[in-house]
Structure formats: C-alpha cells, structure tokens
Amino acid sequence: MMIAQLRYVFVALAVLISLHYLLSFTNESYNNATSFNNFKDQLTGAAGSNVPVNHGATGNSPPHDGANSAPSHAAQGASNSHGAVGGDIPLAEAPSKAPPPEDYYAEKNKTSHSADGRKAQAVFVMLARNGDVEGAVSSVKQMEDRFNKRFNYPYVFLNEEEFSEKFKSRIRAVTNSPVQFGLIPHDHWFQPDWIDETRASAARAEMQKNNVIYGGSLPYRNMCRFNSGFFYRHELLKPFKYYWRVEPDINLFCDLDYDPFLFMQDHDKKYAFTISLPEYETTIPTLWAAVKEFTNANPGLVSRDNAMDFLSDDGGETYNRCHFWSNFEIADLDLWRSEAYGKFFNFLDEKGGFYYERWGDAPLHSIGASLFARKDQIHFFNDIGYRHEPFQHCPQGDAHTKGKCWCDPEQNFDYEWYSCLKKYDALFKK
C-alpha cells in the first residue's frame, strides 16, 4: 500500500518537472518568470552587463518583449501589502506617490487647457508603420477621451515610408487636434554604411538562434537607434520642447484632468515614466563598459545629483539593467538635444552596438536621463494608468478614484519583483 502511494507521488513529481521544462522551453514569459538567473539577479540586484552571462540556448526574453502576460504572481503581489520600498520608506510617503498640486486640475466641465489657460510647447509623437493603423487609432482615441479632447495638443506621426491615405484619414477621424505626418530622413533610419554587415548579420543570426526576442530583426534595430538618437531632430518636432511618446495598442485607464506637460515645465522635470524594469542582458553585453568609458572620459558632462543609484547597485561599477520602459515617455526634448546626450549618443553609436548587439532605446534613454539630469528631474506619473503588453501601471487608492480608472488596482506592476520602481523610490531616501 505504502509503495503504491509512493509510486503515485513519484509519478506526479515526474509530470510536474516535465511540465516545467516543457513550459520553460516553449513559453518565454514562463521561462522568464521562473528562470533561476532572474531570481538570482533579483536577489543580488547585480548583473554586470560587461560580463555576459550565458542564459543557455532557449533564450529567455526580457519580460516586456515577447510575453503575453505578467509573471504569474504579478497580480497577487500587486497589492499594498508591501509596506515599505527601498528599505524603509512607507509607500504612502514615497515621492512617486505625491499627487500634483490641486490647482493643476482643470475646472470641471471647462473645455480648454489647464486650470489657468496656459499651454506648453508640447506634442504627442508616435512612430508607426502603415500596418499599425488599427493600434494607432485605438491609442489616439483613448488619448483623446482620457485627456486630450480638453487640451488639444497636436500629434506628429513618423514613419520611414510615406503614410498611406488610409492611415491619415483613420487618425484624423478620431481627433480635432492638429495632426502631422512626417517622413524620416533616410540616414536617420537605415543601417549606416560604416557598420560591418558581415559582423552585424552574424550577430543577428546568433541572437535569432538563441531566441532573443527581435534578435534577428534589422528593422527593430533601426527603430531602436532612431528612437535613441534621431527622433528629436526631426523637422516636425523642432517647434516643440516637450513630447509624450505614444505607441499603437496601448491602454490609458484614467481620466487625466491636469496638464502633465505644464507640470513638467513648472517643476523643471526632464523625463517621466510609468513602468520600469530590467533589460534583457544578452541585448546589451558591452553597453555598460561603453557607458563607463564615456563617463570616465567626460566626467564634467555627468550631472552632479544624478540617478546613478537607479542604474547601479555598486556606485557605477556594474549595471543592474534597470530602465524606464520607453514605450511611454513624457520628456523634455532639450534633454536629448543637449551637448551631453548628443556626445553620449554619438560615442555609443560609433561602437556599433545597435547592430552588433541589440541595444534598445529604453536603456539608452534611461542611462542618459539618469546621468545627465538630476534625480529630482525624473518623475513617476503615478496618476497615469497605462498598459503596454504585458505590463500595466494601475493607480492605487485616491489616485484610482480621482482618475475614475477602469483598470483593476490589483493588476499593478509597481512593486512586483521584476519592477525597478523601488530603486527609483530609494533615490529619495533620506
């Protein structure tokens, strides 16, 4: 009898283990959520990106890249049960939770602008292909409904091909605000001639073999490089100082009854985010070494009160891979137009890492903002409920009520084990 029971236990265990390996192999998000390396990195908080770690042949992807759902425990852990962040700051007092001053809210039923009628030099920017039209229209419609029908900020759409008449008319149908469609200059988009194509294509093939998400894609690399170093130079963006980056197929959950651009301007903010998480290591094996080379050679360009502690757990020696998820950004275009960021981008571009590896605009922007702005110039928009698959920021408590948010507050990435928000909060620990 005892032997028979033991046999059942053994069979059950064997089935469980096989299922785990099967899921690890076939499902990137499952693999990512359960990978020992991820747990280890999370626990130690360290991942020297200049010392590549071999994750093996299945190629677990960064959680934001290919997954359909957040790690399985994301929903449960999202509650307010974590009383403290970054060690000993009560959540309610974390700077990221401070609401904007009451006078930023537009009067009820007022149809235009901010509470006192001011407006910023600001624009929505969306990079998209003609084939993205459905997702693009969905995002713009939500932006209008949640915020912009009362503020009427303009939109700029960018593409390396001419936008189709269909794309333009579908977008124009959902907004009364000014809309412009721009063509990206050839040299701002396509792989430069000085890149060694033999080396670049070998890198793509190797990453594809290792199932690195978008690892085999050249257009994705062009897109990352363009977003890192060129979008802010586009002719159509010249008149503007602030932008809000919007992607196709996002969700905006809450009414935003104040002007986030004016908030940025009045409080001298340079970069704002809603979600942050670690980058996939195999896309950036030599990035941090290049960053250190740059900062060692140009110490005067690094901001005095910077946010290095968001990026590194050992004073800058290694990169913890934390980055602001750049599919959402509200930022000051002059940060990217600055001498410091311009030199930084050119230096990194010359390394060829956009093509020989798969450097993303998220780590580039995050490192740039963290090093060339002051930490208090980086803002977390707690009251903007936002989703880009597979993660979302859903405001909690009063912020949820005030915004009449339609997201489930329990589905919130803020203090999930894979979120970097606690490192942002810790920047302001006294």
Ligand X SMILES: Nc1nc2c(ncn2[C@@H]2O[C@H](COP(=O)(O)OP(=O)(O)OP(=O)(O)O)[C@@H](O)[C@H]2O)c(=O)[nH]1
Helix axes 339-351, 361-372, angle to 10 degrees: 140
128 part of the interface to ligand X, by CB under 6 A:
yes
Q: Cβ 64 to ligand X, closest distance in Å?
A: 7
Binding segment toward Mg ion, per CB under 5 A, in 205-213, 220-228, 325-333, 409-417: 325-333
- The three state secondary structure string of 11-32 is HHHHHHHHHHHHHHHHCHHHHH
Q: Cβ 189 to ligand X, closest distance in Å?
A: 8
Q: What is the DSSP letter of 321?
A: -
Work out which of 200, 223, 284, 331 binds ligand X, going by CB under 6 A.
223
- Distance between CA 49 and CA 150 in Å, rounded? 45
What torsion do the CA atoms of 20, 23, 29, 33 make, to the nearest 10 degrees? 0
Contact 280, 422 (CB under 8 A): no
Q: Cβ 26 to ligand X, closest distance in Å?
A: 18
Q: Cβ 249 to Mg ion, closest distance in Å?
A: 7
Binding segment toward ligand X, per CB under 6 A, in 92-100, 120-128, 301-309, 350-358: 120-128
Catalytic residue among 144, 329, 357, 416: 329
Work out which of 170, 247, 302, 337 binds ligand X, going by CB under 6 A.
247
266 part of the interface to Mg ion, by CB under 5 A:
no
389 part of the interface to Mg ion, by CB under 5 A:
no
CA distances from 85 to 76, 319, 417, 428 (A): 17, 20, 11, 11
Q: Cβ 238 to ligand X, closest distance in Å?
A: 20
Residue 351's φ and ψ, nearest 5 degrees, are -70, -20
Give catalytic status of residue 162 as yes or no.
no
Residue in 91, 72, 139 with CA at minimum distance from that of residue 414: 91
- The position carrying tokens 């009820």 is 108
Contact 245, 313 (CB under 8 A): no
- Distance between CA 422 and CA 201 in Å, rounded? 38
Residue in 169, 418, 403, 122 with CA at minimum distance from that of residue 266: 122
Q: Where are the beta strands (DSSP E) in 160-227?
A: 179-183
Q: Cβ 327 to Mg ion, closest distance in Å?
A: 5
Identify what 129 binds: Mg ion, ligand X, none; CB under 5 to 8 Å per kind: ligand X
Q: Cβ 71 to ligand X, closest distance in Å?
A: 16
Work out which of 24, 32, 60, 159 binds ligand X, going by CB under 6 A.
159
Strand partners, 89: 85
With CB under 6 A, what is the number of residues at the site for ligand X?
13
- The DSSP element (H or E) to which 181 belongs, if any, is strand 179-183
Q: Strands 329-332 and 271-273: what pairing?
A: antiparallel
Contact 291, 351 (CB under 8 A): no
Three-state SS at 369: helix
247 part of the interface to Mg ion, by CB under 5 A:
yes
Nearer to ligand X, 28 or 425 (CB): 28
327 part of the interface to ligand X, by CB under 6 A:
yes
Residue nearest to Mg ion (CB): 247
129 part of the interface to ligand X, by CB under 6 A:
yes
Quick note: the x/- pattern for ligand X over 36-75, rule CB under 6 A, is -----------------------------x----------
- Distance between CA 377 and CA 370 in Å, rounded? 9
382 part of the interface to ligand X, by CB under 6 A:
no
Work out which of 56, 90, 192, 219 binds ligand X, going by CB under 6 A.
219
Identify what 219 binds: Mg ion, ligand X, none; CB under 5 to 8 Å per kind: ligand X
Identify what 248 binds: Mg ion, ligand X, none; CB under 5 to 8 Å per kind: ligand X
Q: Which residues would be at the binding site for ligand X (CB under 6 A)?
A: 65, 126-129, 132, 159-160, 219, 223, 247-248, 327
Q: Which residues would be at the binding site for Mg ion (CB under 5 A)?
A: 247, 327
Catalytic (active-site) positions: 329
